[in-house]
Amino acid sequence: MTRVARVIPCLDVTDGRVVKGVNFVGLRDAGDPVELATRYDAEGADEVVFLDITASSDQRVTMVEVVSRAAEQLFIPLTVGGGIRDTDSARALLRAGADKVSVNTAAVQRPELISDIAGDFGNQCVVCAIDAKRVDNGYEVFVHGGRTATGMDARAWAERAVALGAGEILLTSMDRDGTREGFDTGLIRAIVDVVGVPVIASGGVGSLEHLALGVLDGGADAVLAASIFHFGEFTVAQAKDAMAARGVVVRR
Amino acid sequence: MTAPLVAVLDYGIGNLRSAQKALQKVGADARLTSDPAVIRDAHAAVLPGVGNFGACMSAVRTAGLEDLVHERIGGGLPFMGICVGMQMLFTESEESPGVTGLDVVSGVVRYLPSSVKRPQMQWNRLRVKGGGDGVGLASADPMFASLPPEPWMYFVHSLHGVPSDRSSIVATVDYGCEVTAAIRVGNVFAVQFHPEKSAADGLGLLRNFVDAARLVAA
């Protein structure tokens, strides 16, 4: 065995509460990110991502509290992203118990953010999230949640981010996000081919088959999904069974 | 019985909170500390570490922990190194040429071969020596007691320890090359993976360590 694919549920959090959450049996509160993450841990999730989609910066303090509570109960890796603009906010989250922080728009605006965080905490702590859209001659990086075009080539940005110290790339296809049509495996392959660090595929998962294809066709090291898990459609355990049935090695 | 005191050595680097919380979860009175009095009083000690070997060694020395680590280990009480905390127990590392490690374990920390993706950032299944396959040792290390024969652990690393005495290796993983996952030298047990991030199997291993600390406390 060499490569073991990770399955990563992603929780969108605003003001300390999960935006979309299903009320699992035995869960007191489907809106509590810690409770939901612990549930995914029990189902066999390899890692959990909290994505802070809070608009205002005061409420970001809440995320540090959420991470601090998660550290008491969650014993799998935790990545936190959304609104991290400087090393101080990264430090607060890592000190509270996050294992990695994910940077996106702020890193595009100021790439040294990646080297600053990596310098203080190590490359393994820094995930560079890239939102990309297919264009005529490749893929373009978008920021501000996919609303703003940058004119930057996604492959070139991924290579630069890794050179600056990003330990992992979280790659979302803006074309596929929310469509349930499956990953853009061409995009994943394009990035996997140029970076030496792990790539997490995101955007478009609508079936369990899609998860396996992200690894088999795209070459992703990990697959991230939100809605198929939140709405109780599938459990993480079912996702892994389906991936294993397609020959993907997963922890079960 | 009161919970055994486990000192998690704090030298200002990385996320130590997870290790502390995981040890508390399995019954330890785990404290993040660099206070010599607490470290000397503890029934067991844990040396964590993430990031760069040279930076970690420098921070350990600045915090005045080098002699305390040797004192603890020389005293024969349970001691665990985690990740770079394991690597620092070696003589030296290819990551930081010229920097001397704690040299508790004779050997060199080497980069994983360039033929594999670095870092190894994934879960992997341990091959425990003396475990299910009966290879290498008469019986598995006590730290693996009650765990599945091939426990899953979470790894994030680009280098691994290669001890001069291969018999100190008590578990490996296959990553397209053989990777040192755990070593045992007397009272020192050290792991390249993160038990505090390895769900039930990782907590099981930490529980065994806390049980060993409890025997000291009794």
Query: How confident is the model at residue B12, as a pLDDT?
Result: 84
Nearest to A181 by CA among A128, A146, A240, A134: A134
pLDDT over 80 at A134, yes or no: yes
Query: How confident is the model at residue A133, as a pLDDT?
Result: 96
Q: Which of A193-197, B129-133, B137-141, B183-187 has the lowest mean pLDDT?
A: B129-133
Average per-residue pLDDT for chain A = 92
Average per-residue pLDDT for chain B = 93
Per DSSP, the three-state class of A218 is coil
pLDDT over 60 at B134, yes or no: no
- For B199, residues 6+ apart whose C-beta sits below 8 A from its C-beta are A41, A75, A76, B152
**How many domains does chain B fold into?**
1
Handedness of CA A60, A65, A66, A68 (dihedral sign): positive
Interatomic CA distance for residues A207 and B3, integer angstroms: 47
Please state the rounded mean pLDDT for residues A14-18. Answer: 88
Which residues of A are less than 8 Å from B123 in CB distance?
4, 6, 46, 251
Whether the CB-CB separation of A152 and A137 falls below 8 Å is answered with no
| H or E segment and range at residue A139 | strand A138-143
- Residue B119's pLDDT band (cuts 50, 70, 90): confident
Per-residue pLDDT tens digits for A161-172:
999 999 999 999
Query: How confident is the model at residue B44, as a pLDDT?
Result: 97
Full domain range(s) for residue A199:
6-245
Please judge whether B50 and A121 are an interchain contact, meaning their C-beta atoms are less than 8 angstroms apart.
Answer: yes
Catalytic residue at A131? yes
Please state the rounded mean pLDDT for residues A71-99. Answer: 93
- Residue A178's pLDDT band (cuts 50, 70, 90): confident
**How many domains does chain A fold into?**
1
Interatomic CA distance for residues B161 and B140, integer angstroms: 20
Please judge whether B123 and A4 are an interchain contact, meaning their C-beta atoms are less than 8 angstroms apart.
Answer: yes
Query: How confident is the model at residue B213, as a pLDDT?
Result: 96
Question: Is A93 a domain residue?
Answer: yes
Query: How confident is the model at residue A61, as a pLDDT?
Result: 76
Query: How many residue pairs from chains A and B have C-beta atoms closer than 8 A?
Result: 89
Please judge whether A121 and B125 are an interchain contact, meaning their C-beta atoms are less than 8 angstroms apart.
Answer: no
Residue that wins the pLDDT comparison between B14 and B48: B48
Please state the rounded mean pLDDT for residues B110-130. Answer: 92
pLDDT over 60 at A1, yes or no: no
Query: How confident is the model at residue B130, as a pLDDT?
Result: 85
Please judge whether A121 and B176 are an interchain contact, meaning their C-beta atoms are less than 8 angstroms apart.
Answer: no
Per-residue pLDDT tens digits for B159-186:
999 999 999 999 999 999 999 999 999 9
pLDDT over 60 at B135, yes or no: no
Interatomic CA distance for residues A191 and B182, integer angstroms: 33
Question: Which residues face A149 on adjacent strands?
Answer: A142
Interatomic CA distance for residues B115 and B177, integer angstroms: 9
> Residue ranges of the alpha helices (H) in chain A?
33-43, 60-73, 87-96, 105-109, 112-121, 154-164, 185-192, 208-216, 227-230, 236-245
Interatomic CA distance for residues B93 and A210, integer angstroms: 41
Question: Is A66 a domain residue?
Answer: yes
Which residues of B are less than 8 Å from A68 in CB distance?
17
Residue that wins the pLDDT comparison between A29 and A238: A238
CATH code for position A16: 3.20.20.70
Of B43, B83, B95, B160, the catalytic one is B83
Please state the rounded mean pLDDT for residues B125-146. Answer: 80
- Residue B137's pLDDT band (cuts 50, 70, 90): low
Question: Is A1 a domain residue?
Answer: no
Catalytic residue at A41? no
Nearest to A104 by CA among A47, A144, A62: A144
Place of tokens 């060199």: B108
State the nearest Cα–Cα gap between B158 and chain A, in angstroms. 10
CATH code for position B134: 3.40.50.880
pLDDT over 80 at B142, yes or no: yes
Tokens of B150: 């091939």
Please judge whether B52 and A122 are an interchain contact, meaning their C-beta atoms are less than 8 angstroms apart.
Answer: yes
Q: Which of A30-34, A82-86, B209-213 has the lowest mean pLDDT?
A: A30-34
Question: Which residues face B30 on adjacent strands?
Answer: B6
pLDDT over 80 at A184, yes or no: yes
Full domain range(s) for residue B24:
5-217
Query: How confident is the model at residue A146, as a pLDDT?
Result: 86
Q: Could you please report the per-residue DSSP string of B4-52?
A: PEEEEE--S-S--HHHHHHHHHTT-EEEEE--HHHHHH-SEEEE---S-
State the nearest Cα–Cα gap between A136 and chain B, in angstroms. 30
Question: Is A219 a domain residue?
Answer: yes
Question: Is A252 a domain residue?
Answer: no
pLDDT over 90 at B93, yes or no: yes
Question: Which residues face A98 on adjacent strands?
Answer: none
- For B147, residues 6+ apart whose C-beta sits below 8 A from its C-beta are B128, B201, B204, B205, B208
- Residue A59's pLDDT band (cuts 50, 70, 90): low
Query: How confident is the model at residue A195, as a pLDDT?
Result: 96
pLDDT over 60 at B124, yes or no: yes
Which residues of B are less than 8 Å from A125 in CB distance?
50
State the nearest Cα–Cα gap between A230 and chain B, in angstroms. 21
Handedness of CA B183, B141, B216, B204 (dihedral sign): positive
Please judge whether B122 and A94 are an interchain contact, meaning their C-beta atoms are less than 8 angstroms apart.
Answer: no
Question: Is A148 a domain residue?
Answer: yes
